[in-house]
Amino acid sequence: MSDIRLNSSKLGTQEYWNTFYEREIGNFEHNEDDTGECWFDDSDAESKMIEFLIQKINDGELPRHYDTLNIIDLGTGNGHLLFQMYDDFEQELDVQVDYNFKGIDYSAESVDFSNKIKSKKYEDQRFEFEQVDLLKKQSDFLDANREKYDILLDKGTLDAIALNQEPVEDLDGKIGMDVYGSQVEKLMHRDSILLITSCNFTEEELVKIITKETELKVWDKITYPVFEFGGVKGSTICSIAFIKE
Ligand SMILES: C[S@@+](CC[C@H](N)C(=O)[O-])C[C@H]1O[C@@H](n2cnc3c(N)ncnc32)[C@H](O)[C@@H]1O
């Protein structure tokens, strides 16, 4: 368990996200170009995460060779990261590899929204969205998909989870951010990569949270512009790739 704590916020509740995506579905139905909020857009996090992976794949730097990559986005929201990744993979990958995209989220409205975007814009069967709460101990999804995913993505989901300080009943009263790593690890085989982007934690904190009670180790990271204030250097966001050893 880590001693790092954030203050609770409404962004840590399922009701908040349900209402949020309900509103975004309304906007999308009104205007199909409006596919919703893209978190950390001002730091260009989405394209940096995608570019990072494209480079690793093209340079043959993934720890294993894959004919098909199983990719999952944890807390997928509007699915945008996956849709954009698909577009960019189609354009920029220069190695022969197939890929499947799965997006999970505990908000039924998020899943509904992602499916609506998929059917309007991406009929490709390689996208699947499913309602899954990552913090359930008895989880059919986690049980059925043990060690399935080669690449796991998280953009802002651990951040949202960490904004809820309520003990998770199902998980011996621990709080979400303290069980996140061991829950997500179930979906990983040896050599899987988990790429997390956070704006709430420093690199040091993120590493501590993820590695403390898991077999995950830092594999690589994305660099962002660094600001300096009062002699202290930092960046507003961090993305770290962990590997299961
Ligand atoms: C800040 S949003 C980020 C959404 C998306 N990744 C993006 O970058 O646009 C956090 C997401 O995490 C989801 N989420 C929060 N707690 C979750 C949990 N326990 N299980 C699954 N999804 C969760 C929320 O519904 C929300 O879609």
DSSP, residue by residue, the chain: ---------GGGSHHHHHHHHHHHHHHHHH-TT-----TTGGGTHHHHHHHHHHHHHHTT-SSS--SEEEEEEET-TTSHHHHHHHHHHHHH--S--EEEEEEEES-HHHHHHHHHHHHHH---TTEEEEE--TT-SS-HHHHHTTT-EEEEEEESHHHHHTT--SB-GGGTT-BHHHHHHHHHHTTEEEEEEEEEEESSS-HHHHHHHHHTTSSEEEEEEE----EEETTEEE-S-EEEEEEE-
How far away, in angstroms, is 60 Cα from ligand 1 center? 30
How far away, in angstroms, is 92 Cα from ligand 1 center? 27
Superfamily of domain 10-244 in CATH is Vaccinia Virus protein VP39 (3.40.50.150)
Task: Name the 3-class secondary structure at 74.
Answer: strand
Q: Which sequence spans correspond to the domains of the chain?
A: 10-244
pLDDT above 90 (res 126): no
Angle, helices 80-92 vs 108-121, to 10°: value is 40
CB-ligand 1 contact for 36 (6 Å cutoff): no
Residue 133 is encoded by which pair of tokens?
Answer: 């709460």
CB-ligand 1 contact for 106 (6 Å cutoff): yes
Q: Among 61-70, 135-144, 166-175, 211-220, which is the least confidently predicted range?
A: 166-175
User: Which of the 8 DSSP states describes residue 49?
Assistant: H
User: To the nearest whole number, what is the mean pLDDT of the chain?
Assistant: 93
Please give the pLDDT value at position 242: 98
Which of 15, 49, 130, 157 best tests ligand 1's pocket when mutated (most atoms within 8 Å of CB)? 157
CB-ligand 1 contact for 110 (6 Å cutoff): yes
How far away, in angstroms, is 232 Cα from ligand 1 center? 31
Which helix H or strand E contains 99, and what residues bound it? strand 98-105
Please give the pLDDT value at position 8: 78
Please give the pLDDT value at position 187: 98
Please give the pLDDT value at position 234: 65
CB-ligand 1 contact for 12 (6 Å cutoff): no
pLDDT above 60 (res 1): no
Residue 64: CB atoms within 10 A of its CB come to: 11
Residue 236: CB atoms within 10 A of its CB come to: 12
Residues β-bridged to residue 220: 241
Q: pLDDT-based confidence at 7, cuts 50/70/90?
A: confident
**pLDDT tens by residue, 153-175:** 999 999 999 999 888 887 888 99
Please give the pLDDT value at position 2: 60
Point out the ligand 1 atom lying closest to the alpha carbon of residue 107.
Answer: 25
